[in-house]
Amino acid sequence: MGKNRTLYILTVLLLFLVILEFVIIILQRNQLKEPKEIRTTSDTIIKDLRYGDSFNTIPVVNADGNEAAFKYGEHNTVLFYLSPSCSSCGDAMRFVGRLQSIFGEDNLQVLLLWSDSMPVSLIEEYGIASENCFSINDNIAINTPTPTAYLLDSQGSIIYYNSDIKICMEKLYMQVVEEGLEEQLRINANRYLMEYFGIADFEKQQIVYFCMDGCPDCAAADDILENDDGKDKRSLYYLYTYNDTDPSHERDEYALLKLVYGVEWYPSFLVFQSEEEYRIIGEVPIETLLQEL
């Protein structure tokens, strides 16, 4: 009798523990699925958006101040979360045109969401389509720093996000490469760079020079190119690393072009032979650089 009672108690206890564990798992899943909302003393609701959460839960207005809804891309969507007072948000805004040109409108939708009023003058200055610009309606804020980049699916759910936009671009690039669009991105990038630098005359050699300030190999390459008797037969367009601090330097914002062309060494050279033909010169012995070019 004592053994049966002990067995009964153990069985009931085990069943209770199994049920308790099941309940905990359900609660944890619900917690992960439901965005957390925190109401501050100023009556601002802080939205804690995480993986799988949807931006459809955020009420927004368009550039005209009317209630609106996001239009997501069929394949890939990047949403930049910005604020008017954010000093580095201008870099993200300036980057939008380059990003859209390289990925193409058919492959990528770019949305911009401001935490407060949107800077209309900057939107016009950077040529950003106003229909892709929104600001948050009501007293709501998202619990991430600005700028933050979000990768969204076709329904507006978060696939990935990071306040380090360079890392987010790496994730986006890997997604597009998996879709077999690697060469198309390079073709788009070629067209973008030719237009950006005004490259049209191929009687001279046209070269985009991926360089890094303070790089000894770049300094050696500069010396060779500057003292070459045939330097008048080529045009060089310098593109510095994304974290270069000299405002007079043209930067590879968020290292996107480094990704697209597979640059792994500085200096590297993108040589345009025509509107359609190009080649990339990476790590070579510095004494053979002119021969490679």
Q: What is the pLDDT of residues 189-238, one digit of tens each?
A: 999 999 999 998 888 899 999 999 999 999 999 898 888 888 888 899 99
How do beta strands 205-211 and 109-114 pair? unpaired
pLDDT at 31: 42
Which two three-digit tokens encode residue 131?
């229909």
Which two three-digit tokens encode residue 270?
């993108």
Please count the other Cβ atoms lying within 10 Å of the Cβ belonging to residue 271. 17
pLDDT at 27: 41
pLDDT tens string 106-145: 889 999 999 988 888 888 998 999 999 999 987 888 889 9
pLDDT tens string 217-228: 999 998 988 888
In the chain the domains, ranked by start, together with CATH numbers, are: 37-178 (3.40.30.10), 182-292 (3.40.30.10)
39 has pLDDT over 50: no
